[in-house]
């Protein structure tokens, strides 16, 4: 039986799905985990129990997280707290990014102390 160029065997489909999982979905999940760890680090510094009900704690503590979407794909998250004087910027968590060695990382700018932290994750590109 002759197949058209748009038809593939079950084996080829399974192989392509395995490649999609290995080279797309796994690296994306790893990058998201690093970003989540960075946000958790900021939340913990504000007294949030990351294993509890985070939205309730955010509301009780006056913590606001807003996404900063910049054209071109870069951006991050602003973490702001409510103080007696009003809203005060607390930290900025950058997007997850790859370095030249294939490791994923995420930067945290602590705006109240003007320092930079980096949360690093696994090497997700290049073996």
Report the pLDDT value the prediction gives residue 110, as an integer from 0 to 100: 95
Report the pLDDT value the prediction gives residue 35, as an integer from 0 to 100: 92
- Name which of 126, 124, 90 is nearest 105 in CA terms: 124
Q: pTM for this structure?
A: 0.78
Tell me the pLDDT tens digit for each residue of 2-36: 666 678 788 888 888 888 888 888 888 888 999 99
Q: What's the token pair of residue 113?
A: 């102390």
Other beta carbons within 10 angstroms of residue 79's beta carbon come to 23
Beta carbons of 88 and 104 less than 8 angstroms apart:
no
Between these two residues, 59 and 28, which has the higher pLDDT value? 59
Chain length of the chain: 127
Confidence of residue 37 (pLDDT cuts 50, 70, 90): very high
Q: Please provide the distance, in angstroms rounded to a whole number, between the alpha carbons at the two ends of the chain.
A: 39
Q: Where are the alpha helices (DSSP H) in 2-116?
A: 10-20, 26-45, 54-61
d(CA 89, CA 81): 6
Domain boundaries, the chain: 10-123
Q: What is the mean pLDDT of residues 111-122?
A: 91
């Amino acid at each position: 039986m002759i197949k058209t160029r748009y038809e593939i065997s079950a084996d080829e489909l399974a192989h392509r799905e395995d490649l999609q999982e290995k080279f797309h979905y796994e690296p994306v999940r790893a990058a998201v985990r690093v970003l989540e760890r960075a946000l958790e680090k900021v939340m913990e510094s504000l007294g949030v129990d990351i294993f509890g009900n985070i939205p309730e704690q955010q509301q009780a503590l006056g913590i606001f997280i807003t996404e900063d979407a910049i054209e071109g794909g870069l951006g991050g998250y602003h973490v702001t707290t409510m103080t007696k004087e009003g809203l005060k910027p607390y930290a900025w968590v950058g997007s997850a990014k790859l370095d030249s060695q294939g490791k994923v990382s995420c930067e945290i700018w602590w705006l109240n102390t003007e320092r930079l932290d980096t949360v690093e994750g696994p090497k997700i590109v290049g073996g």
